[in-house]
Structure 1
């Protein structure tokens, strides 16, 4: 895999590390990682797509080679969208891009997909193990329609409540507990011959990423403002995901996405690292099936 590294400055001066592979003249796929990963989560997927696409990955603010601002306000979704817009301006200023995202990358990209200012920038969106916080907030309020699914998701979301506590999550990151839990969860749904950890995770990366949960989840889930989109969306939902249930991933967006494709697959939360060939295949097929 040949990858060129560049720096892109966001609206608040934070410098983001951006990595490009493939021919810039070809359609652009921008892949966004989640927590507690870096852009290296996508390395094996990039290798499978770079012959057909211009593939762009980047380290989300606070992790990897990107700047690491201090303070919760630096991690609100609105700022993450400014980061994404700055990257699109730099790598694909004159074309719509195909978004591909996992976990927290998916959460922030959902907001881009439903934001009017991104309508002319995004051709499609493939979401893996993530959901719009606004859509999730509405879905959770319909518990009487699907009590078992909602209870299951509430149990699986234990860690999001833990991350709101002061001090303890930081201690868990420094002690290696967060990384150990992530690796444990990653073993579920993993097929034979699958790889190791999704990406390199440093203590600093894990601590900074906690602010994503603190800055966004309480306010967005408690006061959802759901919006609709006509951008084609593919949801890839791993059946053995222990953090984001397939029910939440597939049901929450249904009322709000006019062109929604669902792919329920075997695999766990870190299926991107475990089954990169399948992720690349589904992404490629979805893009090929889009209207010209």
Structure 2
């Protein structure tokens, strides 16, 4: 695939590595990666989309080739949303775009998808394995009161979030990983042995922990009412070991135009089932573009 690399300097002195694929004349699609990944995790999906879209990806702050902020507060959702805005303002000036995101890329993208500043700019949003933290907090409160079984089931999937709050422990633990060791873990989860390596896994894991530390406790303690400003598709991964499908039940309360599709896949479906993920994203975009036209 033909790829172009450029850099975006943010207003808080960070440097983001941005890559584009395809022809600029095609509809724009921005893909945001999760944790502990960097933008190249989307390459298997991009392979199936470049004929129809001009694709933009970027390493979020602290990941891949992008710079590493010094303060935990530099990873707050509002700042991450501003990163997205600064990337598209440079790469897609005065253009609307479609958005798809996975895991923490999805969590942080909800901040933009529920921000009126992006009204008319984000045309559609496909989310995989990354709920809005505010929506998740409302869901957890309701389940704690009405359905403790569902609540405890999701808590058992999210044990690692508590570990990530411990000073030094999680960052130090990533020093014991390398690309090959991490690949074996993902391969076991996805039941495939031909998945690409992540050469930045130590950096992606060590510094990405700050995403959790900067956002989880504030949002779960004081959730905000966040309504989507565009159509949203939730691609629910039925076998996800980290994000329970039940969390998606809350989304329809906050999205006027909501679609839900299911895929028999684990958490890293973008690696193990890229063609199916690409088809779902493409179908949703085409469907919503036809309505707009």
TM value normalised by structure 2:
0.93
3-state secondary structure, aligned to 1:124: strand
* Structure 1 residue 177, shift from structure 2 partner: 9.2
Counterpart position of 1:109: 109
Counterpart position of 1:252: 250
Counterpart position of 2:236: 237
Q: Cα distance 1:281–1:194, how it changes in 2: closer, same or farther (>3 A)?
A: farther
3-state secondary structure, aligned to 1:268: coil
Q: CA RMSD in A?
A: 1.9
Distance in 2 between residues matched to 1:198 and 1:164, nearest whole Å: 27
3-state secondary structure, aligned to 2:18: strand
3-state secondary structure, aligned to 1:20: strand
Aligned residues: 289
Distance in 1 between residues matched to 2:128 and 2:177, nearest whole Å: 25
Q: Cα distance 1:107–1:178, how it changes in 2: closer, same or farther (>3 A)?
A: farther
Structure 1 residue ranges without an equivalent (≥5): none
Structure 2 residue ranges without an equivalent (≥5): none
Q: Cα distance 1:243–1:186, how it changes in 2: closer, same or farther (>3 A)?
A: farther
Counterpart contact for 2:178–2:202, Cα < 8 Å: no
Distance in 1 between residues matched to 2:159 and 2:93, nearest whole Å: 40
Q: Does 1:54 align with 2:54?
A: yes
* Structure 1 residue 126, shift from structure 2 partner: 0.3
Counterpart position of 1:216: 215
Q: Cα distance 1:198–1:284, how it changes in 2: closer, same or farther (>3 A)?
A: farther
1:58-207 equivalences under 5 Å are 58-143=58-143, 144-176=145-177, 183-184=184-185, 187-188=188-189, 190=190, 195-196=194-195, 199-207=198-206
Counterpart contact for 1:186–1:270, Cα < 8 Å: no
Distance in 2 between residues matched to 1:195 and 1:128, nearest whole Å: 22
